[in-house]
């Protein structure tokens, strides 16, 4: 482990512990969804995204992917159950961004092109889902002017992955 990664990892121990402590105070996510507990549902999503980012910063994209994939369905259920609320859909988009980023990091670590392509395809799918949430928010007029660029950011992510997939198909 390099010095910078070791420094970050040590600094992140406390952050991860606080996320875990906060999560332990919440009712389970499925209970939050069933009872329409907006605060708990939103906090669950933020904690999930935060824990995924901690894993990525530690250089553990496999861990990040596992966590984010395991909780992806919950985020989607929350945003579908409360479709008219702003935050659940935003959190779903943020989770998809984190998942796409984690898959992209895994693709960079892949030693063989087949594994790299599969991970890039998974990254593209996550970024495309995030793009769909961003477009939905934009189409419904639920983005503030300073948030409007998010659609373009997701479009750029999808285009970047498409280019990498096209370049890799010639291997």
> How many residues in the chain?
171
- How far, in Å, are 86, 131, 138 from residue 144 at the CA level? 11, 16, 9
Q: What is the pLDDT of residue 8?
A: 61
Query: What does the pLDDT read at residue 70?
Result: 92
| pLDDT value, residue 5 | 59
- 116's CB contacts (< 8 A; 6+ apart) are 107, 110, 168
Short-list 94, 103, 163, CA closest to 129: 94
What is the reported pLDDT for 170?
A: 57
Mean pLDDT by 10-residue block, N- to C-terminus, for the chain (171 residues)?
A: 61 88 88 77 92 94 96 88 85 96 96 92 98 95 94 98 87 51
Instruction: Return the sign of the alpha-carbon dihedral for residues 78, 79, 81, 84.
Output: positive
The pLDDT of residue 12: 83
pLDDT at residue number 163: 97
Question: What pLDDT is recorded for position 77?
Answer: 85
Predicted TM-score (pTM) above 0.85: yes
Q: Which two tokens stand for residue 19?
A: 């996320």
């Amino acid at each position: 482990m390099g010095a910078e990664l070791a420094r970050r990892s040590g600094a992140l121990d406390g952050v991860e512990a606080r996320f875990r402590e906060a999560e332990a105070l919440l009712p389970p996510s499925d209970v939050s969804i069933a009872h329409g507990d907006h605060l708990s549902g939103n906090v669950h999503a933020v904690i999930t995204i935060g824990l995924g980012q901690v894993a990525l910063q530690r250089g553990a994209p496999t861990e990040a992917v596992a966590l984010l994939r395991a909780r992806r369905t919950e985020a989607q259920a929350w945003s579908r159950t409360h479709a008219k609320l702003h935050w659940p859909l935003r959190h779903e988009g943020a989770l998809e961004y984190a998942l796409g980023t984690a898959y992209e990091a895994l693709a960079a670590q892949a030693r063989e092109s087949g594994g790299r392509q599969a991970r890039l395809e998974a990254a593209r799918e996550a970024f495309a889902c995030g793009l769909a949430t961003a477009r939905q928010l934009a189409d419904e007029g639920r983005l503030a002017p300073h948030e409007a660029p998010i659609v373009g950011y997701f479009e750029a992510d999808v285009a970047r992955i498409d280019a990498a997939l096209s370049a890799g198909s010639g291997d």
